[in-house]
Amino acid sequence: MATLSGTGGGNAVIDRAKFGPLQFGVTALCFIIAMLDGFDTQSIAFVAPRIAEDWGLAPSAFGPIFAIGLLGLTVGAFTLSPAADRFGRKTIILISTFIFGLFALLTAFSTSMNELLIYRFITGIGLGAAMPNIIALTSEYGPARLRATLVTVMFCGFPLGSTIGGLVSTWLIVEFDWHSVFVVGGILPLLLLPVLWVMLPESVRFLVAKGAPESRIAPIVRKIDANASVGEFIDGLKHEQSTAAKGFSVFQLFREGRTPTTLLIWVAFFMNLLVMYFLVNWLPT
């Protein structure tokens, strides 16, 4: 019987849980969000040549458009995404998906570069806020032995969405026009929202930390492990959270010998995204 007595608390129940419908559902839904995130992130690169042709612009005019989207991603990741610690991961995932879906759709009706700049910036905020939280939620529900694999598989949705976006955009532009790429990229996330509302669970750690009623936590715990004691699960997580370090400073990334690893990871991500920026955004033009 998987109870918390002498087993390390609520995290231990999650860590040793079997990979079941709950874990599959969370991973699959986050995978779909990542796909739509990838599609909408790269959609501007696919349609930029056609917009430039329609509006009589040089391809170089889209430099600010490409950059503003990435700026939005950064703003979303640094501002909206951390709000999940206060309002819940599911809540921020729903809000960010609504934001990037709505403003991707509005991009289809842009008539000037100024409108395009505004819509792509706000779209980027939603895209940037969604990704950290779907990674975190997948990780939180993943058993310890499968956690890294599940996060990796889920994150593969982003490049897959970008790839599918390239193929679909070619067809859409030929059959309709460039507006249709943003219509598809906007409608699909909005259609996904009711599914996420019903099927995506809130972070059980967040629910415990915020003192949610046991009646709301119990169904999730039983899906994690049908034999787990709900009361002991909650008490264990509360104890673990009370003894965990409070707050977080970015300077912790440079303490206790973490500086070389932090810098190397930053450089690796910087170079990776720099290459992706030039290849994905400018190669189609």
Rg (CA), the chain: 21
**pLDDT tier at 211, thresholds 50, 70, 90:** confident
Q: Does domain 18-224 have CATH number 1.10.3720.10?
A: no
pLDDT of residue 230: 80
pLDDT band at residue 200 using 50, 70 and 90 as cut-offs: very high
Kindly list the domain boundaries of the chain, sorted by start residue.
18-224, 252-285
Residue 143's Cβ-side half-sphere holds a number of Cα atoms within 13 Å equal to: 15
Chain CA centroid to CA 43, Å: 17
Crossing angle, helix 157-175 and helix 21-55, to 10 degrees? 40
Closest listed residue to residue 119, CA positions, set 172, 52, 72, 50: 72
Start-end of H helices in 56-88: 63-75, 84-87
State the number of CA atoms in the 13 A half-sphere of 141 facing the CB: 31
pLDDT at 15: 82
**Pick from 50, 66, 57: nearest CA to 177:** 50
What does the pLDDT read at residue 18? 86
DSSP 3-state of 94: helix
On whether the CB atoms of residues 25 and 199 are closer than 8 A, the answer is yes
Instruction: Tell me the average pLDDT of the chain.
Output: 86
At residue 5, the pLDDT reads 38
Rounded Cα distance between 4 and 73, Å, is 40
How long a stretch of residues is the chain? 285
Residue with tokens 């109870």: 3
Question: What pLDDT digit, counting tens, does each position of 111-126 carry?
Answer: 999 999 999 999 999 9
Reading the block at residue 13, the tokens are 């129940």
Give residue 228's region: left, alpha or beta (phi > 0; psi -120 to 50): beta
User: How sure is the predictor about 184, in pLDDT bands with cuts at 50, 70 and 90?
Assistant: very high
Query: Whose CA is closest to 41, among 181, 190, 197?
Result: 181
The 3-state DSSP class for residue 91 equals helix
Alpha carbons 11 and 233: distance in angstroms, whole number: 8
Span 218-233, pLDDT tens digits: 898 888 888 877 887 8
Residue 46 and residue 186: Cα distance in Å, rounded? 15
How far is it, in rounded angstroms, from Cα 155 to Cα 141?
15
User: Cα separation of 152 and 127, whole Å?
Assistant: 18
Residue 8 pLDDT more than 80? no
CA 174 → CA 42, 55, 167, 231, distances in Å? 18, 17, 11, 59
Across 48-170, the runs of DSSP E, i.e. the strands, are: none
Closest CA to 116 of 131, 125, 104, 128: 104
28: which 2 tokens?
């699959």
Q: What is the pTM of this model?
A: 0.87
Q: pLDDT, tens digit, for every residue of 86-119?
A: 899 999 999 999 999 999 999 999 999 999 999 9
Distance separating alpha carbons of residues 149 and 260, to the nearest angstrom? 25
